[in-house]
């Protein structure tokens, strides 16, 4: 992400440079009067502030440590672009028409900047909320996803056909169960974890009878868990 931001910064700097070139190489007088009036500088300063704000938004977006978080923050870049575009239009009007009252330029540009700031802040808050929800979901599904990986590994490690069949039943019971968990399921999840360990020990010891008994108990626990998950979602 840092490399991408460096490239983005170069493009941003080029755009700002082009803006300044256009501003300062155009005729310095309009209608016989200097264009560098208070209205001109008001428009120029507000546009420059919008440019800087856009880079800040991009920096925050590219600061994301993974692609998913960057995706959540893309609206910051698009909204800051829109705000910069609006400010370019508003500011340019006062730069090109220096006879316009200064107070009107300040009010119009300030309102434009305020709308841009509010929109960016809302997008930032939304990105944070979505990211927090995503992290919460990851935490809530980690147990079952991890157990699924362990069950698959145990199935592949089974040394006999009978043990493989039992491990396959357990794997499928875990794989197709609800992956979400919460505090209400913690006690049952602990039972499942302990039962799975006992089943894994039996498979590794090639004790078919014990493995079958543990597999049956584990599958029953998974069914019970599934029923509780449905009940929790219904409520």
110 & 13 share domain: yes
Span 60-89, average pLDDT: 80
Q: Would residue 145 count as lying in a domain?
A: no
Cα–Cα dist 166/144, whole Å: 19
Instruction: Identify whether the C-beta of residue 206 lies closer than 8 Å to the C-beta of residue 235.
Output: no
* Average pLDDT taken over every residue of the chain: 83
pTM over 0.75: no
21 & 64 share domain: yes
80 & 15 share domain: yes
Boundary (domain end) residue, out of 105, 136, 167? 136
177 & 101 share domain: no
Beta-ladder partners of 34: 29
Parent domain of 206: 158-234
16 & 119 share domain: yes
77 & 191 share domain: no
pLDDT band at 119 (very low <50, low <70, confident <90, very high): confident
118 & 162 share domain: no
Phi and psi, residue 225, nearest 5°? -65, -40
pLDDT band at 49 (very low <50, low <70, confident <90, very high): very high
pLDDT score for 80:
84
Q: Would residue 213 count as lying in a domain?
A: yes
pLDDT for residue 55 is more than 80? yes
Q: Would residue 146 count as lying in a domain?
A: no
Tokens of 86: 């609006």
189 & 101 share domain: no
Q: Tens of pLDDT along 136-178?
A: 666 667 888 888 899 999 888 888 888 899 999 999 988 888 7
20 & 70 share domain: yes
Boundary (domain end) residue, out of 74, 102, 136? 136
Q: Would residue 147 count as lying in a domain?
A: no
For the chain, the domain total comes to: 2
118 & 34 share domain: yes
Cα–Cα dist 72/76, whole Å: 9
pLDDT band at 231 (very low <50, low <70, confident <90, very high): confident
Q: Would residue 6 count as lying in a domain?
A: yes
19 & 79 share domain: yes
26 & 82 share domain: yes
Q: Which residue has the higher pLDDT, 28 or 56?
A: 56
Boundary (domain end) residue, out of 101, 136, 171? 136
* Percent above pLDDT 70 for the chain: 88
pLDDT score for 138:
66
pLDDT for residue 67 is more than 80? no
pLDDT score for 17:
93
Q: Tens of pLDDT along 173-186?
A: 888 887 777 777 78
Task: Output the CA–CA distances (angstroms, integers) from residue 177 to 50, 107, 172, 202, 227, in the order listed.
Answer: 51, 59, 8, 23, 10
pLDDT band at 6 (very low <50, low <70, confident <90, very high): confident
């Amino acid at each position: 992400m840092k490399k991408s931001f460096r490239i983005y910064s170069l493009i941003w700097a080029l755009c700002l440079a082009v803006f300044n070139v256009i501003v300062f190489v155009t005729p310095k007088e309009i209608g016989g009067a200097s264009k560098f009036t208070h209205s001109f500088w008001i428009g120029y300063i507000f546009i420059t502030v919008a440019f800087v704000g856009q880079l800040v938004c991009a920096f925050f977006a590219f600061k994301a440590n993974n692609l998913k978080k960057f995706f959540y923050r893309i609206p910051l870049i698009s909204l800051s672009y829109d705000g910069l575009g609006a400010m370019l239009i508003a500011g340019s009007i006062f730069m090109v028409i220096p006879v316009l009252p200064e107070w009107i330029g300040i009010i119009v540009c300030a309102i434009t900047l305020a709308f841009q700031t509010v929109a960016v802040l809302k997008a930032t808050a939304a990105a944070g909320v979505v990211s927090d929800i995503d992290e919460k979901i990851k935490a809530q599904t980690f147990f079952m996803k991890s157990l699924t990986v362990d069950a698959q590994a145990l199935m592949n490690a089974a040394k006999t056909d009978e043990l493989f069949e039992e491990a396959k039943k357990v794997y499928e019971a875990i794989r197709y169960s609800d992956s979400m968990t919460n505090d209400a399921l913690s006690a049952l999840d602990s039972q499942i974890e302990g039962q799975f360990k006992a089943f894994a020990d039996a498979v590794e010891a090639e004790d078919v009878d014990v493995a079958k008994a543990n597999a049956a108990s584990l599958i029953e626990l998974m069914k019970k868990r599934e029923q509780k998950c449905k009940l929790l979602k219904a409520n």
